[in-house]
């Protein structure tokens, strides 16, 4: 299966190192406590935490908007992303 950089569309060659970036966003009201993210696990999908369901109130859940995106980035784009995540270059 071919892997392509999601930013520059360059083909990532076999055995070439590339980087997976998982971004999770959720809505939050000012004044709420910060949700605590659990330690990373060895399964990639578990690196992204949706919500702490046990602690969330029904209202918080109803008003929450969660989005998750995953990107594959080549080494060059990953370095740019890490230096400037909002792509101001
Ligand atoms: Zn790239």
Question: Model's pTM, two decimal places?
Answer: 0.57
What span, in angstroms and rounded, lies between the C-alpha atoms of 8 and 79?
A: 13
72 Cα: distance to centroid of ligand 1 (angstroms): 8
Confidence band of 30 (pLDDT split at 50, 70, 90): confident
Q: What is the mean pLDDT of residues 21-45?
A: 68
Q: Return the pLDDT at 59.
A: 59
Q: How far is CA 21 from CA 59, 60, 65, 71, 77, in A?
A: 30, 27, 20, 5, 11
Q: Return the pLDDT at 33.
A: 61
Per-chain residues with Cβ under 5 A from ion ligand 1 = 5, 7-8, 10, 74, 77
CB 73 within 8 A of CB 19: yes
Domain ranges of the chain: 3-30+43-83
């Amino acid at each position: 299966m071919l892997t392509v950089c999601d930013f520059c569309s360059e083909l990532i060659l076999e055995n070439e190192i590339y980087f997976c970036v998982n971004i999770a966003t959720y809505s939050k009201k000012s004044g709420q406590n910060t949700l605590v993210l659990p330690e990373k696990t060895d399964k990639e999908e578990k690196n992204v935490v949706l919500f702490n369901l046990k602690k969330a109130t029904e209202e918080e859940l109803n008003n929450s908007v969660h989005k998750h995106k995953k990107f594959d980035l080549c080494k060059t784009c990953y370095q740019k992303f890490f230096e400037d995540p909002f792509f101001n270059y």
